[in-house]
Amino acid sequence: MTPRTGMPQMAVEEFEELARRAPEFVRLEFINGKVQVMPGPDGVHGAIVMWLIKRCMQQRPELSLYPEQGLKVEACRRGRARPDGCLAPEENFVGQGEWAEPGGVLMAVEVTSRDADTDRRDRVEKPDGYPAAGIPVCLLVDREACSVTVRAEPEGGSYRRITTRPFGAVVELPDPVGITLETQKLKDYAD
């Protein structure tokens, strides 16, 4: 929402058209009624996402961690987000287009970036939109804090359980994810 009026900058349909026409290298999201430009990931960001993809494939081969899949999020699905990863059954997004319904998504993943908006976007706004969309688990890999935060048990538009562990700890991703992350490797990616 715009700060002065509380109104969205544009209709969600207008945003989708804007995103469709944006140059390939520009990644857009529509969070809380505001158009946001996502920075391109750096090498460490990409390495962390690949590390997560491998852990998920090893422990839950029937699932896939889809990088940057566009999702309809927030109350009434009026937001559009691109999590760094969406854990869902294979072929969950087939036929859904650029902005998929969140049904079937077991976990949204965010890895913080090195830009000025990361605090608001990756730590607050996007994780606040995922429980409203019914996504059971949200995983935040926070490069600045060298920690992993697991949000679970969505209820009433927010997550009831939030657990943060330092890089190096064993992190349990609760059901329906059911994956254990041994995060010692993430210390190699600490800045």
pLDDT confidence tier of residue 88, bands split at 50, 70 and 90 = very high
Cut 0.85: pTM above it: no
Share of the chain above pLDDT 90, in %: 52
What sign does the CA torsion over 87, 141, 19, 132 have?
Answer: positive
pLDDT of amino acid 1: 46
Of the listed ranges 42-46, 122-126, 165-169, 180-184, the one predicted with least confidence: 122-126
pLDDT per residue over 15-45, tens digit each? 777 777 777 666 766 677 776 766 666 678 8
| Tokens standing for residue 78 | 């009026």
What is the overall mean pLDDT for the chain? 85
Of the listed ranges 27-41, 61-75, 156-170, the one predicted with least confidence: 27-41
Which domains, from first to last, does the chain contain?
A: 39-189 (3.90.1570.10)
Sheet with 63-66, edge to edge strand ranges: 63-66, 85-89, 107-111, 137-142, 147-155, 158-166
Q: What is the mean pLDDT of residues 104-130?
A: 79
